[in-house]
Amino acid sequence: MARSRQPLIAGNWKMNGLRADALALAAGVAEGVRRAGWTDREVLVCPPATLLMAVADAVIGSGVLVGGQNCHADASGAHTGDISAEMLRDVGAGHVIVGHSERRTDCGETDTIVRAKAEAAWRAGLLPIVCIGETLAEREAGRTLAVLETQLKGSVPAGAAAAKLVVAYEPVWAIGTGKTPTVAEVASAHAHIRHVLGALIPDAGAVRLLYGGSVKGSNAGELLAAGDVDGALVGGASLKADEFLAIAKAA
């Protein structure tokens, strides 16, 4: 079963990078991945939309995959400032992150909106990475598993299957804070996510579940070895090629 779930190490650059830095970072990641020659794991970078085309060009032939950080649910139309899944696909993206907690918080994205974005990703031929995760208050109230279940049921579209979906578990309190759950806490969250997915989709056992939140080279080995963890969604540490490659190596 482990082999059927090829590890995915995804870098979420967030709102970071001007052309020069981003191209240097992309070149560094591409060079490392080319040199490693991995065939047993996938490495993805999700730059800001302004840099997608340039980064996609910069990593051609290296095996590095490129994705967007968000998309609108519609294919086109009067949505000033938004970008559709089709537009991401058009400039070389194969993946898109949807429902990141920063978008849920900053932009008021609900589970219903996230689900529509995941459907938009399918429509455009992109693989959506659906993010879920509890806040510190929710964890302290003992509501972690219930929150994850509600978010999953609301955010995963009908018709989902392992080949069409990646889920990222990102505790909100672990994002950008340097704090991480224990390995046991990650394993328990992931086991519950897989259990809930079992009621939603036929091949839930094959869905890749990523952990995200303060992953770095020094803790990746431990976190990625936790039960039911099939990769990582990496923010801060994906902005340094060496650090990001160290995480990919640990997968």
Residues that bind ligand PGA (CB under 6 A): 12, 170, 175-176, 212-215, 233-237
- Residue 168, amino acid: A
Q: Which is nearer to ligand PGA, 38 or 244 (CB)?
A: 244
Q: Which is nearer to ligand PGA, 12 or 70 (CB)?
A: 12
72 carries an active-site annotation: no
Rounded Cα gap, residues 78 and 68, in angstroms: 20
Is-contact 26 62, C-beta < 8 A?
no
Q: What count of other Cβ atoms lies within 10 Å of the Cβ of residue 199? A: 10
Rounded Cα gap, residues 39 and 150, in angstroms: 35
Q: Per the residue annotation, which of 170, 190, 192, 243 is the catalytic one?
A: 170
Q: Which is nearer to ligand PGA, 201 or 248 (CB)?
A: 248
Rounded Cα gap, residues 128 and 156, in angstroms: 10
* Minimum gap (Å) between residue 170 Cβ and ligand PGA: 6
* Minimum gap (Å) between residue 233 Cβ and ligand PGA: 4
100 carries an active-site annotation: yes
Q: Which is nearer to ligand PGA, 132 or 175 (CB)?
A: 175
The answer for residues whose C-beta is within 8 angstroms of residue 94's C-beta and 6 or more apart is: 65, 66, 67, 126, 127
* Minimum gap (Å) between residue 208 Cβ and ligand PGA: 15
Q: Per the residue annotation, which of 72, 86, 95, 100 is the catalytic one?
A: 100
* Minimum gap (Å) between residue 203 Cβ and ligand PGA: 25
Of 5, 6, 67, 66, the closest CA to residue 30 belongs to 66
The catalytic site residues sit at 100, 170
